[in-house]
Structure 1
Amino acid sequence: MQDIAILIPAAGTSSRMRGRDKLTEVVSGEPLLRRQAQTAMATGAHVCVTLPDYDHPRAETLAGLPVQLVGVPDAELGMSASLRRGVAMLPRGMKAVIVLPADMPEIETEDISLLIEGFRATPYPMLQQATAADGTPGHPVLFPANCFSAILQLTGDQGARDILTANAHRLRRIALADERALIDLDTPEAWDAWRGGPPQKLSVPAE
């Protein structure tokens, strides 16, 4: 599957965590970012992780993993900066990229594999978007290579929502179990709720 890339945007500031870094929170015995990278690697895809810079503490959580690291010195410009720089640095020949948010601790390897299998099963390049079991759109999202030029032109902090809208005619949605496609953890309260009780829908990803 090395012609498919998985991009994990991890260059944000965790500003809503009030001094904590959500990507170093421990999930299943590992820092969340390392867990996400390992989950992605298990698909056999090429894995790229964006970081604020190459010596950021988050880089230490990825030590020893064969993942591509990409620094994002303009990360303050928003999610688009991570997407642009990540896609621009992918190896040549990638047929698609899956955007996997770093702060979604319930996403499993089999979930990502469903998007890859869906992409490979269609006769022409279709976008693949994970949804909750009830069909609510979420993450991760797969973008075929013919979307890369549009990703490289993104601006602001809205992610790739406009690309999904523009390609609605070739967007295939894939339901994941429960609400794992929606659960992202941005605040201490969200982490406490997730750890202290049954999974709950904390937010709906924008892309």
Structure 2
Amino acid sequence: MLAPERTALILLAAGRSLRFTHADKLAEPFLDKPLAYHLVTALENIPFLTRIAVVSCTSLDFAARGYRVEENPDPMLGQARSLNHGVAVAREAGAEAVLVALADMPRVTATHVYRMFDAANGADTNVASSDGVQPRPPALFGANLFDDLLALEGDEGARDLIRRGHHVVTSPAELVDVDTREDLEELRKLYGLPTDGK
């Protein structure tokens, strides 16, 4: 059985945010804290073997939140480069699996992540999230898939690998990711907090 204690959390936080007008998207306020800290907070009590944040050009201090911070030396090469780097660090740390999460998905819950572990299949684990239509991160991969993850290239990340895996369905609202300023404004409208503002 795969357990969090033998799993490395890889937080991908090195996106170039080109669709977000070049701002530090992850530091943007949402519900009175930086956008990226919502997922960090949601998963902070899961006893992962290690936590790895792969970053580029963000002002956020993930180290203060218990993460080993790894700078992506080549963010222009796409999301796969961040994933390659995170998996290599996780393998060095002795991880038997990796949970790959995106820092711009602020509504993911620990409950959903534990459901993913319930669906795990040891070293062959390939479990992704789904809104019932489209599979996406967070995704959980066992050690037998590390070589596949390390071989990925470009901006597609592990999309093809995720499509072939087992999918744990949750609410579409939980799997919202913030790519554009409009996406963030839509989330803010749902809560209507005046402190999230301009």
2:195 equivalent in structure 1: none
2:20 equivalent in structure 1: 17
Listed as ranges, the gaps of 5+ residues in structure 2 are 192-198
Pick from 49, 57, 67 the counterpart of residue 53 of structure 2: 49
Instruction: Trace 1:7-156 onto structure 2 (pairs within 5 A).
Output: 7-45=10-48, 46-52=50-56, 56-58=58-60, 60=61, 62-90=62-90, 91-119=92-120, 122=121, 125-132=124-131, 134-156=132-154
Larger RCO (CA under 8 A, 6+ residues apart): 2
Pick from 155, 174, 184 the counterpart of residue 180 of structure 1: 174
1:195 equivalent in structure 2: 188
Alignment check: 8 A CA contact 1:84 1:152 kept: yes
Listed as ranges, the gaps of 5+ residues in structure 1 are 199-207
4+ long deviations beyond 3 Å: none
Q: CA RMSD in A?
A: 2.0
CA distance in 2, matches of 1:146, 1:157: 22
% identical aligned pairs = 27
Give deviations 1:107-128, integer Å, cap 9, x for gaps: 1111112112221xx4663311
Q: How many residues align?
A: 186
1:2 equivalent in structure 2: 5
- What is the identity, as a one-letter code, of the residue corresponding to 1:185? V
Q: TM-score, normalised by structure 1?
A: 0.81
Q: TM-score, normalised by structure 2?
A: 0.84
Q: Secondary structure at the match of 1:130?
A: strand
